[in-house]
A and B are shown apart, each in its own frame.
Chain A
Amino acid sequence: MSTATLEGQAAPTETVQSFTVTLIIRRFDPEVDSEPRWQDFDVELFATDRVLDALHKIKWEQDGSLTFRRSCAHGICGSDAMRINGRNRLACKTLIKDLDISKPIYVEAIKGLPLEKDLIVDMEPFFDAYKDVQPFLVSNTAPEKGKERFQSVADRERFDDTTKCILCAACTSSCPIFWTDGQYFGPAAIVNAHRFIFDSRDEASETRLDILNDKEGVWRCRTTFNCSEACPRGIQVTKAIAEVKQAIMRGKP
């Protein structure tokens, strides 16, 4: 058995076809450049490689100055959101085989946040909006002695979709409103507010609805659905925002 497995592993490495893929990356070095510039790289890749692997190959073998964020590299940490071929995606979840490699792959930083270097943007404004919606459980009552806070399956289901957020900023930086109005809370902050507004154990929903019932809150949303399409976790972001809008109009979640 074990020899068969070994052979099975050894054989395909010779036959797996690799492709030369051109990546055009929008680079910016604040110490040298006054404006971002495009630079192309040719990389040898397999169909099963991801855009992140391509960036690694460039950084490790061609140009060590290429700068980007990544941590887990498996779609959990949300560090490597970037604009790939004009759409926000996670570099670690975008397979080369899903892209058209007969054309160059364009990679650039996410839009709407201050560009710091190459593919890195300043995420502080994004996290400030996140902090502003109080993304934590607020409860003034103690749970029954010796028990946890009870929640029915149906109540948990109510906000299940918005618990999946990894704060990668792909949604917020895909929003045309956010590009031009940095004061807008943005989809990610509203998603994380939604996660607690509709949590039956939470007692600060009114406060969060008050915060979002603002010119720069949920009413800035123009339902372009860019956020729902950009979300690497498949969260129905626009639906969540619509639910918060409804909750504000009803005055309760």
Chain B
Amino acid sequence: MPEKSAGALADAQPVGRKQAVEQKPQGLRVSGTLYRGREGMWSWVLHRITGVSIFFFLLVHILDTALVRLSPEAYNAVIGAYQTPIMGLGEVGLVGAIGFHALNGLRIILVDFWSVGTRHQRLMFWLVWVLWAVLMIGFTPRHLMNVFGG
């Protein structure tokens, strides 16, 4: 019974409401705006994404390595498929993901265990990116030379 009367109320009232619904601004999601977190939140998001990606890589990697026990020919075929340029670019992504995950992991350890870690977390976040850039500058040209140089 109470539900019914609430429904009747809703039916009786919507004249002013309907107009409001029509002037809904474009491009706004019903679910609300994206929370505008800062460095800490984005480092966590990236840590999750890279972590899950690395997990799936390791899963595939263990499976393809295990293949050598079943049939060395099949193993060679799979490894041969890895020697393509697309996989070579994927390896850049893999190293990038592992590099970020490792460096940011050290940052999280410092945040948790270093007494002033929480105060310097933002600086450490940018430091992670600097070290990551150094790593990638060292790795990417050499690796791409191997992939595309034949």
Binding site for B on A (CB under 8 A): 24, 26-27, 29, 31-32, 35-40, 83, 85-87, 104, 106, 108, 111, 174, 176, 222-226, 228-229, 236, 238-239, 242, 245-246
Contacts and interface: CB of A to CB of B under 8 A. Distances in A.
B91 to A, nearest CB: 28
A223 B30 contact: no
Interface residues of B, number: 34
Contacts, number: 95
A86 B34 CA distance: 6
B41 A242 contact: no
Contacts of A106: 33
Contacts of B118: 223, 225, 228, 236, 238-239, 242
B36 interface: yes
A238 to B, nearest CB: 5
| Chain A residues touching B, majority SS | mixed
B28 A226 contact: no
B40 interface: yes
A86 B38 CA distance: 11
12 contacts: A29-B17, A32-B13, A39-B23, A85-B33, A108-B33, A223-B108, A223-B118, A224-B43, A225-B39, A236-B119, A238-B121, A239-B118
Nearest to B43: A224
A14 to B, nearest CB: 34
B27 to A, nearest CB: 10
Contacts of A242: 111-112, 117-118
Nearest to B108: A223
B4 interface: no
Contact of A239 (B36, B39, B40, B119): B119
A38 B34 contact: no
B28 A39 contact: no
Nearest to B6: A31
B25 interface: yes
Nearest to B18: A32
Contacts of B17: 29, 32
A83 B32 contact: yes
Nearest to A22: B25
Contacts of A174: 35, 37
